Amino acid sequence: MKSKVLLVSPKLNPEVAKRVAIQLQENIGLGYLASFLEKKGIVVDIMDLNLSNLTPKEIASRDYSLAGISVHSSDDAREAVLIANQLKREQDNLHVTLGGHYASRQDLEILSSSRSIDSVVRGEGEATLYALYKTLEKNGSLRNVEGLSFQSADSIEKNRDRKPIEDLDTIPFPKRYNLANLLQFSQKSAHILTSRGCPGGCSFCVASLNKGWRVRSPENILAEIKLLHSLGFRNFVFEDDNYLGFGLKGKERAIQVARALKKEDLGIKYQISTRADSLDEGILREFSESGVSKIRVGIESFNQRQLDFYNKRVTPSFVETTMQQIIASGIEPHFSFIVFDPYVSVGELQNSVNQMRRFSGNIHFRYVTSSLNPIEGSVAFEQLLRAGLLEKKGESYSYKFLDPLSEIVWKHTGDFREYMAEAEQGSRAISNRTSVIPEEMDKESALKLRRSGRDIENELTSLWLDVLQYSIDSATLEREYKPRGLPSDIEQKRDSLLRRIHLIDT
């Protein structure tokens, strides 16, 4: 039987690929689309170009009537255009559509950029992609497909939005296309999605614009976990934007899942992501007892002005208490921060350094000099645009700092990136190795490798905090920007760290 629908996950940007273990990737969104269509009797192929050496030309040699490309960033969009161009050269009558967060927001811009892209599926894709397939099959009018933007003969048209699927339990479990590869590694880890949307409302994000927060039932979640467990998986990553949602409803659901997992006694571990204002000692205890191994929390800042600007709805003291509670629970924390924003003052930067040093063993080095990158269409993006603090350079935006000293600090940290690059790349390489430890490696060696990787990351965090402190001191003292190299004491620490990285690497 000939395949009718092709779903493509583009290659990751090389800079992103350096930070992740590609072997562990699986585009769960495409998996959901595939299972939804297959339940309707449609044959689907998933082609993840991060896991396959096939070229678009080789892909296009097969017979498809519809190709969908996943686009979640501007990098994906550029890659998608190249793929679409090749597909069209090989098969002119193929309908090429794009979908994903970025494509949904930039639909008109994307369609204007290339005639090779016939349409964009906006928002939740299952029902819209199926409607598009059936419309093409019957040679019907694309104007009847809700949630679709498309190229017509002489213009670009945007149909009305499609209502999201309210009962997520009705959607079949996602098609898994990388199981054999994932089971080769000692972690035996699978990603699942238990909800859609986010009620958090962070000002720099657009997840909260996704038509409310909808959830799968605890019974449905448990059924998928038990299925994957029967195949050999023992670790799970919940990919929800905000697993706990907001309020009592979210906590009650999370507790039901936790207690069901504890009762089943499957011996699994799982990771979640949530906001600081959703956590307390009670829910942390439930998580710890049910097997939560890691919690990702967007702390963002220790400064009230920044917390308000990011719409985190918490105070610095609340943030610190929550961080301490997570650490005390025994669950591994993953705290993320946004240190620089256009309004940041040197005083706020100094406070960030002081507070981050207290928790440096639990903060990844890339967050020490992290900067606000508001998503187009978000509240923060629109506010900065109106204030004239955003400048478009090529296909991305940069911003100005209101405080001249903060801009000097930012420039100084930029000077030091090339000096720190080798250490960062080495740390990420070790981190990727610990993510893909083959099952045959003995447990003691695997544990030693993971511990070494964490030690390297912690030392690099401490080193970057030294760099940021030096940048603040230089800006405050000289009050002007002077390009410079690393001071000798920091350079010695970096060189010592590099020697340790090379030892582990060999």
Task: State yes or no: pLDDT of 24 exceeds 80.
Answer: no
Task: State yes or no: pLDDT of 318 exceeds 60.
Answer: yes
The single-letter DSSP state of residue 378 is S
pLDDT at 63 (0 to 100): 79
Q: How confident is the model at residue 16 (pLDDT cuts 50, 70, 90)?
A: low
Q: Write the pLDDT tens digit of every residue in 369-395.
A: 999 988 888 899 999 999 999 887 766
Choose the weakest-confidence range: 56-60, 403-407, 442-446: 56-60
Task: State yes or no: pLDDT of 442 exceeds 60.
Answer: yes
Task: State yes or no: pLDDT of 105 exceeds 60.
Answer: yes
* Residue 108 CB neighbours (<10 A): 13
Task: State yes or no: pLDDT of 177 exceeds 70.
Answer: yes
Q: In the numeric block, which tokens belong to residue 5?
A: 């629908």
Show the DSSP H helices in 138-185 as ranges. 179-182
**pTM (predicted TM-score):** 0.90
What is the arithmetic mean of pLDDT over 404-408? 96
β-pairing verdict for 269-274 and 292-300: parallel
Give the residues across from 236 on adjacent strands: 190, 270
pLDDT at 1 (0 to 100): 41
Higher pLDDT, 102 or 292: 292
Task: State yes or no: pLDDT of 239 exceeds 90.
Answer: yes
Q: How confident is the model at residue 480 (pLDDT cuts 50, 70, 90)?
A: very high
β-pairing verdict for 148-151 and 119-121: antiparallel
Contact, 190 vs 235, CB < 8 A?
yes
What is the arithmetic mean of pLDDT over 437-446? 77
Q: What is the mean pLDDT of the chain?
A: 91
Cα 168 to its chain centre, rounded Å, is 21
Rounded CA separation 151/243 (Å)? 37
What is the arithmetic mean of pLDDT over 289-312? 96
3-state secondary structure of 32: helix
Cα 359 to its chain centre, rounded Å, is 23
Tell me what percent of the residues of the chain surpass a pLDDT of 70.
95
> What is the CATH code of the structural domain delimited by 183-337?
3.20.20.70
Q: Write the pLDDT tens digit of every residue in 246-275.
A: 788 999 999 999 999 999 999 999 999 999
Higher pLDDT, 1 or 17: 17
Task: State yes or no: pLDDT of 476 exceeds 80.
Answer: yes
3-state secondary structure of 181: helix
Topology classification of domain 5-158: Rossmann fold (3.40.50)
How big is the CA angle at 377 (ends 373 and 382), to the nearest 5 degrees? 75
How big is the CA angle at 206 (ends 200 and 207), to the nearest 5 degrees? 55
pLDDT at 182 (0 to 100): 85
pLDDT at 18 (0 to 100): 65
Instruction: Show me where the domains of the chain are located.
Output: 5-158, 183-337, 353-372+382-506
Q: In the numeric block, which tokens belong to residue 473?
A: 């001191």
Rounded CA separation 291/42 (Å)? 38
